[in-house]
Structure formats: structure tokens, C-alpha cells
Structure 1
């Protein structure tokens, strides 16, 4: 009788132990903290799997060019699109998914500069000081990285990808990769061509209708350009300056004492790409909307791109216009 009772106790204990063990180590599903996500390009998010440590999961993305995910479940949004993140247990045949939609990065700024090498710099909307202006950031792969110890209101980029800026107090500074170097003179705008030619709009008014003096950098000092004035400037790949003046007319330097007017547009800013493409943001006669226009050498006129423009514009090396709209949001064409 005692032997039979003891055997029953042993069987009950084994059975109970087996049930507890199976319940502990056989999860029947994975539950993620997100099943749908919308992220801006350049941002990230952490996926977590209930009842699992991140290292117990194999994390995969159906399109890692849209958004990637690392071994810890951290998502990084890369470009516009949709991808599916899958979490799979390394030990058990259970999975869970999260749909990730990536929207374009929203960049706000006061000015934009693009170099011949494709480097992009943004003057932000966050003030750094009353005399310097706003933060300066480099835009790379949908990520903005602030440059140290400086603020500005206008920016241009040289062929080596280094920004030159004008501060709120009209100082001219050049970045050398680690520090900012002050240049002589004062300015209100700056432009750099793909060949490295640097021009600036000074802060001395020389014409009530044209605007301020125009200067050319000779490597050590600024030389005054003849017989023209402006408020905004951009430089063609061959080093020819184009300006927008106080009356919103566009002029191109001819190489001597003359400046050619480029009629039929009322411009606010001008940008020129390393391939020679010229764009302005402005209006044509009879229009009430600010649009983006491209200069057409064949008919010697401005072509309306039929997209709303803004106040500041720059051009990529391959001839695509990037501009800041009336709400200071970066737009591309």
C-alpha cells in the first residue's frame, strides 16, 4: 500500500513539473510594442518584443533601403517608402510584424547652400545669438548635424564642401572643417561658383533702386565690382556672378563694365548649380503667386515650373532646385 502511494506521488510530481516547464518555455506568440509606425526620414524607434529579450529575436526589414533595423530592434528611417519589420524567435517558430511608413524629412530653415560636390548646409530657425543669427547644420542622408560655435543668416558652399556664411551683424566667416575663420569686410549675402569664385553683396547702399555694393574675393581681400548693385547673388560655374537687385530685377555680369538684364521675372533670390542651371524664386508680371522659375538660354526667358516658391533658393550640382517656402520648409524639384 505504501509503495503504491509513493509511486502515485512521484507520477503526480513529474506530471506537474512537466506542465510548469512547458508553460514557461513555450510562448505561443510575439507581441511587439508597435504594429504600425510612421517615421520621418532620419529618425529612429525601438521595437520591443514581449516575453523576449532583444537578443533572442532575429530582426529583419523587407526593404532596408527604406528603413533598417539592428540586432537590438532599433529602427532607423532612411528614405520615403514603406517596409515591413519582422521579429522572429531564435528558438521557436513564432513571428510578429510591424509596418513602417517613412515620410520625407521636414527641414526648416532661413537659408540653404549647396556646393559643387553636393554638400548641403541649412541656416536653421533657432537663434544662436542676437549678433550672429541662426544655427548652421549640414544635411547628410536625411540627418542634420549642427556645426559648432557659429550662427548666420546667409550661407554658400565652396567646391570642397566648406560653408562660407554671413552673420546677422554682417561679418563674413569661412569654415575650415574644425573652426571658423573671420574674413575682412562686411556683407549681406554671399555666393560661390563651382570653380571656387567667391562674390558677396556688401552692406553699403550704392543705389536706392539697385541696393548694395558687389564684391569679388581675390584670395586676400574684397574688390568692388563696377556699375551694379544688388541684394542677392549667385555664381555660375565659370565664375560669372548673377544678382537680384533691390527692385527685384536679375542681372548677369558680362565680364567688363556691363551687366545684362534678364527680364520678365520679379525675383527674390537666385541659385545656380554646378552644371550651369539657373533658378529664381519670384513672380512674373500679372501673377500674384511666388513660383520657381528656370532660365532658358534657348528663348532667353524664364520658364515657370508651376510650383510655389519662397524666399531662398539653391541648386544641386545636377541642376535640381531646392528652396525654402513661405513657411521656411525645405522643398525640392
Structure 2
């Protein structure tokens, strides 16, 4: 392998997220030797890697929608609230009749589409700052979710609905299959159509994109709608997994984890550059980090601190300016160590 190839690998945006995930896995293996073992029990796959994938599925789905929003220089901090509203809407319908699974799913997805359209209306069409536009729904939407649930936790007993979150298909959790399907659909949209190119163009220079005829407003509106839809899918997975809808706590702080997953994966907050594979890696890093902190005995009150430190280290390593400074410092150390000292007469 040539030096140029090594440099290309070192500069690849997926290198550091992948190494971080491998390092977390190595730490888990060192603490528990059977961490990577996967067994078949009752026709289903069980093991720590399967559990991490299953728990990370809602975050992966939300983060994929967030990736496209951030790629257009936007932000959506209301996705956690949309998760709560979607789960509450489905639970209210299923509480009346557990047989109305299709209607419950349609209501949850419809809530996501409406929420995304509202955010897109304010951010893209009205021109409001995205963080303010989505903050409105983040605050008001949590109240809407609590109104739907009456401030109570609504249990869900519909078998067809619960299968989405805790069921299995071909020995793999259904939530993993759903997350994989969302990833495939998103990849096809951005790689097999002009959408990916247009999103990058808007993120790099929205004024230039508009001058050459790109309908920036409608594309931005569309990515917010898509982000709302992915949040609703995550709400379905979350509520079906815990078998209930909680308007107060469901999806709480999920928007922060989604933004972290996107940035850990190499997507630029300045827009234009994004990576769906990197986003998936970022989501897996966050979920694996959560699993690791609990498994090695880190106190629950210190979990967020540990997560923040790891995220900070990874983001600093990914920064080109930080890496340049580290390289310059290392070169100075190397030069100083090889410098020959004059002999003492």
C-alpha cells in the first residue's frame, strides 16, 4: 500500500467513527469476553450486538432524516417531540380498539408528515431561523402529546403493533429491518436521483443554487417533511418496544442524540457535506457507548459526562484544524528529539 493510499484512508470521513466504534467494542470484549457472542434462542438471535442494533434502530431512523436537514444548513430540534406525539396518537386509537393497527400506524405517520410540513413551512417558506422554527414545535408539541394521553402513560396491547418494536423477522428484530429499510430508501433518494446533488448544492451555497434555477425552498420543505416522517417511524418503534405511550418522557433528548450521531458521522453542520453511512456509525457509537458505560459499572449520574467526553474527543479528532495542529506539534517534537546537541568542550 502506497503512502498516498494511506493518506487517503486517513482522511476518509468514516475512518474515525469506525475506529471509535471498534475501540468501544474492544473495551466491551476486554470487560466481558462473550460480548460478541450471538446465540439462537427460540428461533431468535440474542446477544449484545443484536441488542445494540435493536436499541439503536429508532435513533438511526431519526438521524437519517436529521442528516438531510443539516445538509441543507438547517436543524430540527423537535424530532423528540414528534416521537412522543406519534406514539401518543397511535396509542389513543389502539386504546379504543386494539384491532385498528393500520389506522394507528396511519395516524402516527400522518402526525409526522404534518409536523414536518409545519417545520418546513416556517423554516423554508416563511424564512424563519430553523432552530427557532423547530423550537416552537418542540415546546408546543410536548404539550400536545400530553393532551392526547391525558397526562397518563397509555398501555398498548395490540399484538400487530407491538410486533414492530419487539418482534422478530428471520431471527432478527423487526426494528432492525425497519431501520435498514429506511436507510435503503434514503440512500436511493440521495444517490439514485438528483436529490442528493441538490441538497449538497443548497448546503454549499443556497444563493448560487437558487440563481441557477434550483427550487431551494421546496427542497428544504421536503427534507423537513421527510425528517418528520422518520421521527414518526421512530415514535412507532419506541412506543411498540416499551408497550406504552408517554407524552412527557418519550423521545426526551432524542434530538440531541440525533444531532450528535450526524456530526459524529462526518456530516458538516455548515451544510453541503453529509454521509448516511457515517450517520449510522454515529448512532451505533452513541448506543454502544451507553451500553458500555452501564456494563462496566459507570454510575448512572456520570453516564452523560462520559458520553460528552467521548463525543468531544471524536469531534476534535475529526476537525481538520485540530489534526493539523496535532501534526505540527508532533513534527516539532520529532525535530527537537533528532536535533544533535553540541558537545561540551
TM score, norm. by length of structure 1: 0.21
Larger Rg: 1
Give the number of the structure with larger relative contact order, counting CA–CA contacts within 8 Å between residues 6 or more apart. 2
Structure ranking higher in strand proportion: 1
